[in-house]
């Protein structure tokens, strides 16, 4: 008999969540897709496993009988896949993790230097990826952990807060604001601003926090990445606002704190829930967290 593992996965998720909607969200599926998987499984078995009403979801007698066996089967399959993956990783001796590019700019080089000394036989693969990509990389076990921005919870991921990262102003060194220790947002009302449009949602964070004050700002340019925005600043086209770790002191640029209001984003490290990292991966995660906190003071 053909074993419908996708159907079993859907069945276990629905049974545990007590809801097609919640189960679909956990598996990142539409309700139509999870209903289709469930229907295929029931058709293959020739019995109803779930009784669905307008108010709730309950298991039939056959569903109650199947649930513990389905759980064991799914866990055994996951364990087998993890064993094969772990064996493959050890054979090639790769350490893989994910990190936001804006955070990697100031932390990855020292981390890799320490890793080379501590684990000289280890090869390192760094995924400098967006927030959604980091979640997918960790969930799929492609990356052992990820340094990202704290967002809504995802069922298979555990997010632990690392630090609050402030947004800062970056302007040309000869700019009138370059010599200031800090400036209020209101002071930027007359400036030509360069917005950075990233999947991280930084622009949305700024707009939501500023409230009505955002209407006084003039975002004249938009770039897709920090590097382009910083080059535009160097070229005298305007000033930009970026997360603190994404920019380092460099010729031609000045970094100025912004206040009133102080706007931050919450950095977090994500791992797979219930999975204990091997010693090497745990060290790399903890060291990256420490480097981020040190860089932010």
How many angstroms separate the CA atoms of 143 and 158, rounded?
14
Apex CA 268: angle with CA 264 and CA 269, to 5°? 160
pLDDT digits (tens, 9 = 90+) for 67-103: 999 999 888 888 888 877 766 655 458 999 999 999 9
pLDDT digits (tens, 9 = 90+) for 214-232: 899 999 999 988 889 999 9
**Residue 257, number of CB atoms within 10 A of its CB:** 14
pLDDT digits (tens, 9 = 90+) for 254-269: 999 999 999 999 999 9
Distances (CA, A) of 92 to 103, 112, 129, 199: 27, 18, 23, 32
Domain covering 164-265 assigned CATH 3.30.300.30 in the classification: no
Least confident among 49-63, 104-118, 214-228: 49-63
With beta carbons less than 8 A apart as the criterion, state whether 240 and 167 touch.
Answer: no
Query: How many residues in total does the chain contain?
Result: 297
User: What pLDDT was estimated at residue 79?
Assistant: 86
Apex CA 272: angle with CA 266 and CA 59, to 5°? 115
Pick the CATH number of 5-82 from 3.30.460.30, 3.40.50.970, 2.70.98.40, 1.10.10.10: 1.10.10.10
Residue with tokens 């209903």: 35
Pick the CATH number of 89-162+266-296 from 3.40.50.300, 3.30.70.20, 3.40.190.10, 1.10.3720.10: 3.40.190.10
How many angstroms separate the CA atoms of 181 and 226, rounded?
22
Residue-wise DSSP of 27-94: TT--HHHHHHHHHHHHHHHTS--EEE-SS-EEE-HHHHHHHHHHHHHHHHHHHHHHHHHHHHHHHHTE
Q: Tell me: pLDDT of 235 over 90.
A: yes
User: What pLDDT was estimated at residue 126?
Assistant: 97
């Amino acid at each position: 008999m053909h074993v419908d593992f996708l159907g079993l996965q859907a069945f276990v998720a629905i049974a545990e969540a007590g809801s097609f909607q919640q189960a679909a969200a956990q598996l990142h599926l539409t309700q139509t897709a999870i209903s289709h998987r469930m229907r295929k499984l029931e058709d293959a078995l020739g019995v109803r496993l779930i009784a669905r009403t307008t108010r709730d979801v309950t298991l039939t007698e056959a569903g109650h009988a199947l649930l513990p066996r389905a759980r064991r089967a799914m866990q055994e399959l996951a364990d087998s896949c993890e064993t094969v993956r772990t064996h493959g990783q050890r054979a090639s001796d790769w350490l893989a993790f994910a990190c936001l590019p804006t955070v990697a700019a100031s932390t990855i080089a020292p981390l890799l230097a320490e890793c080379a000394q501590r684990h000289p036989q280890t090869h390192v693969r760094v995924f400098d990826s967006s927030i959604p990509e980091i979640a997918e990389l960790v969930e799929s076990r492609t990356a052992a952990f990820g340094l990202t921005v704290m967002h809504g919870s995802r069922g298979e991921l555990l997010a632990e807060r690392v630090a609050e990262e402030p947004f800062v102003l970056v302007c040309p060194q000869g700019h009138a604001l370059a010599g200031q220790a800090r400036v209020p947002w209101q002071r930027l009302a007359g400036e030509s601003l360069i917005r950075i449009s990233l999947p991280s949602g930084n622009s949305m964070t700024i707009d939501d926090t500023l409230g009505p004050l955002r209407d006084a700002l003039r975002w004249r340019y938009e770039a897709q990445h920090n590097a382009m925005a910083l080059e535009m600043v160097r070229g005298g086209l305007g000033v930009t606002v970026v997360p603190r770790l994404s920019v380092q002191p460099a010729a031609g640029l000045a970094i100025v704190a912004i206040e009133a209001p102080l706007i931050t984003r919450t950095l977090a490290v994500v791992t797979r829930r219930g999975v204990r990292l091997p010693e090497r991966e745990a060290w790399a995660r903890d060291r990256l967290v420490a480097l981020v906190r040190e860089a932010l003071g």
